[in-house]
């Protein structure tokens, strides 16, 4: 069977979306924290999400690829979340000189972490922090979650630092599985890499047999 071309670039232009979102802050010198900017961003995201879904549906009718459609919907959501994160940290909660604690990686987990998304599925996200939560981190996560909810999405989410992820994964099979399926989306990739490296060394290698039996 011939492999179906995903044609992901036809679904959404992430860079164009970022430019349009940034343009909404032109009258406020780049400040996107006001209600007008938020409403404009929300409408932009709703439009791009609807357009992308319509294109994915048309492609499904054309090629009949169910798995391809799930990958396309996952990519569409990836780009929406990436653009939203960039807007949040650039135009809403920008920190000119961030501390080592003011970093974050947005990580897809669950089925979404596997790069597939069925229509109406939950969007499972891990907001990964280096240390304990900061006001910047809390505000950024809250902004993103409320925007995603206002888009009509069902979002499963957790906000944890690396040590918390490792500690919980040793005793909770669900959390351990979610990390095994984790996929970096956006933000500080070094945080994600550190989590996966430590997870492999400190959890998988020491508790692998017990996990298989569970």
Q: Assign residue 146 the CATH number of its domain.
A: 3.30.460
Q: Is residue 178 part of a domain?
A: yes
DSSP 8-67: GGGT--HHHHHHHHHHTTGGGTT---SHHHHHHHHHHHHHHHHHHHHHHHHHHHHH--HH
Q: pLDDT per residue over 49-58, tens digit each?
A: 999 999 999 9
pLDDT for the residue 162 = 97
Q: Is residue 21 part of a domain?
A: yes
Average pLDDT over residues 29-33: 95
Q: Is residue 1 part of a domain?
A: no
Sheet with 105-108, edge to edge strand ranges = 155-161, 123-129, 105-108, 183-187
Q: Please report, for residues 16, 99, 147, 151, 199, the alpha-carbon distance to residue 44 in angstroms, rounded to integers and kept in the order given.
A: 11, 32, 11, 10, 38
Q: pLDDT per residue over 113-152, tens digit each?
A: 999 999 989 999 999 999 999 999 999 999 999 999 999 9
pLDDT for the residue 206 = 76
Q: Is residue 161 part of a domain?
A: yes
Task: Count other Cβ atoms within 10 Å, centred on residue 200.
Answer: 12
* Nearest CA-CA partner of 25 in 82, 94, 79, 98: 94
pLDDT class for 40, splitting at 50, 70, 90? very high
Q: pLDDT per residue over 152-200, tens digit each?
A: 999 999 999 999 999 999 999 999 999 999 999 999 999 999 999 999 9
Q: Is residue 2 part of a domain?
A: no
pLDDT for the residue 3 = 80
Average pLDDT over residues 203-209: 74
What is the total count of domains within the chain? 1
Any idea what the Cα angle at residue 138 is, between residues 91 and 115, rounded to 5°?
A: 80
* Nearest CA-CA partner of 199 in 182, 212, 214, 186: 182
Q: Is residue 3 part of a domain?
A: no
pTM reported for the whole predicted model: 0.94
pLDDT class for 211, splitting at 50, 70, 90? low
Give 123: exposed, middle or buried? Use CB within 10 Å, 0-12, 13-18, 19+.
buried
pLDDT for the residue 208 = 57
Q: Is residue 46 part of a domain?
A: yes
Residue 70: give the domain boundaries: 8-213
Judged against a pLDDT cut of 90, whether residue 205 lies above it is answered with no
d(CA 4, CA 21): 32
């Amino acid at each position: 069977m011939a492999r179906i071309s995903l044609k992901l670039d036809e679904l959404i232009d992430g860079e164009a979306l970022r430019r349009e979102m940034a343009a909404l802050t032109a009258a406020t010198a780049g400040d996107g924290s006001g209600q007008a900017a938020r409403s404009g961003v929300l409408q932009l995201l709703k439009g791009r999400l609807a357009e992308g879904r319509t294109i994915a549906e048309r492609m499904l009718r054309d090629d009949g690829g169910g798995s391809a459609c799930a990958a396309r919907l996952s990519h569409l959501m990836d780009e929406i979340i990436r653009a939203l994160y960039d807007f949040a940290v650039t135009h809403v909660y920008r920190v000119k000189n961030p501390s080592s604690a003011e970093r974050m990686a947005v990580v897809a987990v669950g089925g979404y972490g596997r790069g597939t998304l069925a229509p109406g599925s939950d969007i499972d996200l891990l907001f990964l922090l280096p240390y304990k939560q900061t006001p910047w981190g809390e505000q950024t996560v809250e902004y993103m979650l409320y925007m995603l909810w206002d888009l009509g999405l069902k979002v499963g989410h957790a906000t944890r630092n690396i040590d918390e992820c490792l500690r919980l994964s040793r005793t909770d099979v669900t959390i351990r599985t979610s990390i095994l399926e984790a996929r970096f989306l956006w933000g500080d990739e070094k945080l994600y890499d550190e989590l996966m490296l430590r997870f492999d060394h400190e959890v998988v290698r020491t508790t692998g047999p017990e996990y298989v039996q569970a």
